[in-house]
Chain A
Amino acid sequence: MKSPLLFPVQLRDKSIVVLDETLLPFKEEYITVTTLNEALLVLGEMKTRSLGQVLLFLYCCVLFERKVSIDEIVHRFKEKRPTFDFAVLGEILKIQIEQDLTVKQAVGNFVKGFDALRRARAKRLAEILPCPAHILTICNVNGELIYLYEELRKLNKPARFIVCETRPYLQGSRLTFWELRKNNICCTLICDSQAAGIMKAKGVNCVITGADRATIKGDVVNKIGTYSLARLARYFNIPFYPLTQYPRDIDVASIEIEERPKPEVFMYLDGDFSRIDALYPSFDITKAEFVTRCIELETYNEACRYQ
């Protein structure tokens, strides 16, 4: 089982190759990035996101750190996508560099370790999910649901995914549903607002989402629509499990919620909508009280125990 979304950004000799996620599922095309400005353009235009933006940041550090400091790269990335915690990635790299690793070695270790951590997280999550698992999800977690499916199969737990389309970018339809179906995994696509109806009909028994940010208290910031799923899940007594990493000891209210340009609300629609006033906060906040349990990444050493 595989998905190009597992590693949507890759490092070549002197360039970075980025899967253009906005063209999926119709085209699987890659953009070659050779300068920091090109990387920032790709980031700002949402060609990549989630794990892709992590990899893009790390590989920019590898290619451009002789000209631009890691702190400056953090700053430039943060300007484009203010909600995401690029600073924590910079800190991880700097700790490794202090231990006499090159940036390239540090990034290599991080990427290799991250995949092992994702697999280990999927295994831990599979163990606590019900049998059969009817999983409601939103947006896209870069192939991690495929890892989860594999782990559920090992436990003889049948699984079915119910995917919210995730307007306006349709990451649910275009990415998650696509990668699951590509791997012949049982899944169903719904409109975002159908979530309450399917919960009421007992069509799902758990909710799993990603998390762009998390606090040590268990608050999460994720794709817009996540909060509503968490509230509805609590109402219907359905567990809500966000996949979190690198939680910070901060007040979640201090995290800036990125508001994207209003034309993006009309993504994939033809027509002139320039005279319509629109609003697009691209993330929302789910307080810890609505989270059943954060499924965190463990340390690399702990992950190795699972292999």
Chain B
Amino acid sequence: MKLVDINKAVVVWGPISQEGLKILKKEGHLVVVAENRPSLLGLYHNLPLLKEADIETVYCTDNTLGFLFDKGKVFKTYLFYRDKSQEGLIGMCGSLYIVLLSKLHKIPLTTMVAGKVRIENSDKSAATLRGKDFVLEENTQDYIIEADDELVEWEVLA
């Protein structure tokens, strides 16, 4: 797919739930699936679910989303979060990135509880990709930041 082929799409971030899947199916829009590093949950969880439900998708790297927003290709973002706290929503790595980029481009955000994840992936940081080590250093913990869940505060979501 080329940029010109995308007109009115929605973006999903985090593990899609069955409830979310039903909504996406009903809406019938093209779904932009970001890879969701480091786990690649987009590729190994979200894409298979969407394919199974016969929903049209296009896959891209996480760093493409801001450009798609800027080009007016996306009209809604779905954030699938893991938990709620007094401070805000807790989502997987990159949740703040996607929420802020949506907000800065005035793209409406819909939040939903995340689905159960079926995949197993050992990647916890940028140091590895499907277990393959891209950092030659031995003590990588000194040079990486593990991908923890992120808090997206209520003020940011407002």
Complex Cα spacing A224 to B70, Å: 12
Complex Cα spacing A192 to B3, Å: 21
* A25 proximal to B (CB < 8 A): yes
Complex Cα spacing A231 to B102, Å: 11
* B104 proximal to A (CB < 8 A): yes
Q: Which residues of B contact A190 (CB under 8 A)?
A: 125-126, 144-145
* B6 proximal to A (CB < 8 A): yes
B1 lies within 8 A of A192 (CB) = no
Q: Give, as a whole number of angstroms, the nearest-CB distance from B67 to chain A.
A: 4
Q: Give, as a whole number of angstroms, the nearest-CB distance from B47 to chain A.
A: 7
Known: A173-B135, A193-B37, A268-B129. A280 touches B97 (CB 8 A): no
Q: Which residues of A contact B36 (CB under 8 A)?
A: 193
Q: Give, as a whole number of angstroms, the nearest-CB distance from A179 to chain B.
A: 11
B58 lies within 8 A of A278 (CB) = yes
A-facing residues in B75-108 (Cβ within 8 Å): 93-94, 96-98, 100-101, 104
Q: Which residues of B contact A177 (CB under 8 A)?
A: 135, 143
Known: A167-B37, A231-B104, A284-B70. A192 touches B63 (CB 8 A): yes
A224 lies within 8 A of B67 (CB) = yes
* B136 proximal to A (CB < 8 A): yes
Partner of A276, one of B40, B59, B127: B59
A174 lies within 8 A of B61 (CB) = no
Q: Which residues of B contact A269 (CB under 8 A)?
A: 40, 43, 129-130
B101 lies within 8 A of A194 (CB) = no
Q: Give, as a whole number of angstroms, the nearest-CB distance from A300 to chain B.
A: 35
Instruction: Produce 1/0 per residue, B123-149, CB < 8 A to A.
Output: 001110110101111000001110100
Residue of A nearest to B37 (CB): A191
B-facing residues in A15-37 (Cβ within 8 Å): 25-26
Partner of B66, one of A166, A227, A277: A227
Complex Cα spacing A270 to B147, Å: 22
Label chain A's interface by main secondary structure: mixed
Which one of A188, A194, A268 has the highest number of Cβ atoms from chain B below 10 Å of its Cβ?
A194
- State which size class the interface on B falls in: 35 or more
Partner of B67, one of A200, A265, A268, A284: A284
A228 lies within 8 A of B66 (CB) = yes
Residue of A nearest to B130 (CB): A269
Complex Cα spacing A50 to B134, Å: 21
Complex Cα spacing A268 to B43, Å: 14
Q: Which residues of A contact B10 (CB under 8 A)?
A: none
Q: Which residues of A contact B35 (CB under 8 A)?
A: 167
Known: A194-B147, A269-B130, A270-B130. A281 touches B37 (CB 8 A): no
Q: Which residues of A contact B134 (CB under 8 A)?
A: 25, 165, 170, 173-174, 268
Known: A188-B144, A224-B67, A257-B3. A232 touches B100 (CB 8 A): yes
B62 lies within 8 A of A167 (CB) = yes
B70 lies within 8 A of A227 (CB) = yes
Partner of A196, one of B34, B100, B136: B100
Q: Give, as a whole number of angstroms, the nearest-CB distance from A265 to chain B.
A: 6
B-facing residues in A224-275 (Cβ within 8 Å): 224-225, 227-228, 231-232, 235, 257, 259, 262, 265, 268-270
* B60 proximal to A (CB < 8 A): yes
* B118 proximal to A (CB < 8 A): no
Q: Which residues of A contact B136 (CB under 8 A)?
A: 25-26, 178, 181
* A216 proximal to B (CB < 8 A): no
* A135 proximal to B (CB < 8 A): no
Complex Cα spacing A209 to B61, Å: 19
Given A196-B101, A231-B104, 14 more pairs with CB closer than 8 A: A173-B127, A173-B134, A189-B127, A191-B62, A191-B125, A191-B147, A192-B37, A193-B34, A200-B96, A268-B129, A276-B57, A278-B1, A280-B64, A281-B64
Residues of B within 8 A of A (CB): 1-3, 6, 32, 34-38, 40, 43, 47, 57-67, 70, 93-94, 96-98, 100-101, 104, 125-127, 129-130, 132, 134-137, 143-145, 147, 150
What 6 A-B pairs have minimum CB-CB distances, sorted nearest first? A193-B94, A225-B63, A228-B66, A284-B67, A196-B97, A167-B61
- Can you identify 16 A-B contacts, CB atoms within 8 angstroms? A138-B63, A166-B63, A173-B126, A181-B136, A191-B37, A191-B94, A191-B125, A196-B94, A196-B96, A197-B150, A224-B63, A224-B64, A228-B65, A232-B100, A268-B132, A279-B60
